[in-house]
Structure 1
């Protein structure tokens, strides 16, 4: 019997301002538009990472969710290069790349709405 395999698909985020958040993912984080459903949904992708943004103007703002606003942990082949790319475009950094005691180099990035994600790679000896 073959073990079931999961295939990455997309993170789904409720956002109050679809236009603003789409622009941030596209122009700051380097994602490309994949498809949309009018003014309700926008899907974006970069490499194998996809994000589906849903317009939810009345939802609890992500910035008010505290630690629950984290939604992604993304592996990056060149974390410092990615940091340089997005920092130059005005990315909202929680903290820049730094080595962690658990053997990972990580950085925190936020969206204008307050969703937070981690980008990381293994520390190279």
Structure 2
């Protein structure tokens, strides 16, 4: 066993072309609550200990142009089907509905209007 400090992933930083539109999607569709805002430059949001910090970067390469490389997170959830129903009801961009995978996870894929992608998984018991 190592004496190295353990890291815990809790925050993601995303470059977004339209801060207001993207923050509204995270808030209204994904159910992420605003924490703080720095003018027109930054917006931080959180849900259940997961934080997303959105930086206004209108000249950055659009995430949609990155294709599969636009995945930024893998989140664990205790009831993926309930989360799927919640997000579907709010109009989330769902790339893949919950599906059992051979590696013991039930996963779904989401996308933001900018093209950022994230996976959500629940351990199959």
* Cα distance in 1 for residues equivalent to 2:10 and 2:74: 14
Q: Does 1:73 align with 2:60?
A: no
Q: Report the Cα offset of residue 6 of structure 1.
A: 1.2
Q: Does 1:82 align with 2:83?
A: yes
TM-score by length of 2: 0.96
TM-score by length of 1: 0.96
Mapping 1:26-105, distance limit 5 Å: 26-105=27-106
Other structure's SS at 1:82 match: helix
Deviations 1:42-96 (A, max 9, x none): 0000001100000000111100001110000000111000000000000001010
Task: Give the unaligned 5+ runs of structure 2.
Answer: none
> Moved runs in structure 1, 4+ residues, more than 6 A?
none
Q: Kindly report the root-mean-square deviation, in angstroms, between the aligned alpha carbons of the 2 structures.
A: 1.1
Instruction: Name the structure 2 match of 1:106.
Output: 107
* Cα distance in 1 for residues equivalent to 2:91 and 2:6: 37
* Cα distance in 1 for residues equivalent to 2:43 and 2:59: 18
Task: Give the unaligned 5+ runs of structure 1.
Answer: none
Q: Report the Cα offset of residue 26 of structure 1.
A: 0.3
Instruction: Name the structure 1 match of 2:14.
Output: 13
Say how many residue pairs are matched.
124
